[in-house]
């Protein structure tokens, strides 16, 4: 007769927290292969009405939320800034 392998049920974060609260070793649940995420910080930003409408149009075209559009556009702008900075540094070294 063939043996069937037992599938392990994933342990929820709440279950792991309960084990830790009881003082049990929970290290087996962590692989240390990921990276620690910084806590998310909330900020308030004021936008003029025309800019907000423009953001909403961009978000609608991308089929994402306004918040996701803001994050995406800021990430692109920061990436462009870093790229421009590194290009300037390289050109100074060469010239």
Q: Record the tokens describing residue 76, joined without a space.
A: 């692109």
Residue 10 falls inside a structural domain: no
Residue 34 falls inside a structural domain: no
- Phi first, then psi, for residue 67 (nearest 5°) are -60, -45
Residue 6 falls inside a structural domain: no
Residue 93 falls inside a structural domain: yes
Residue 79 falls inside a structural domain: yes
Structure confidence at residue 38 (pLDDT):
86
Residue 52 falls inside a structural domain: yes
> Which has more pLDDT, 90 or 14?
14
- Domain region containing 51: 46-95
**Number of structural domains in the chain:** 1
- Give residue 91's Cα distance to chain centre: 33
Residue 28 falls inside a structural domain: no
**pLDDT (tens digit per residue) in 15-68:** 999 999 999 998 888 887 778 788 889 999 999 999 999 999 999 999 999 999
Residue 36 falls inside a structural domain: no
């Amino acid at each position: 007769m063939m043996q069937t392998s037992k599938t392990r049920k994933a342990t929820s974060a709440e279950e792991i927290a309960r084990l830790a609260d009881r003082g049990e070793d929970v290290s087996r649940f962590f692989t240390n292969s990921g990276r620690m995420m910084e806590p998310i910080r909330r900020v308030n930003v004021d936008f003029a009405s025309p800019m907000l409408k423009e953001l909403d149009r961009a978000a609608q075209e991308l089929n994402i939320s306004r918040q996701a559009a803001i994050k995406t556009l800021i990430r692109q702008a920061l990436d462009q800034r870093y790229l421009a900075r590194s290009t300037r540094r390289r050109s100074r070294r060469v010239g």
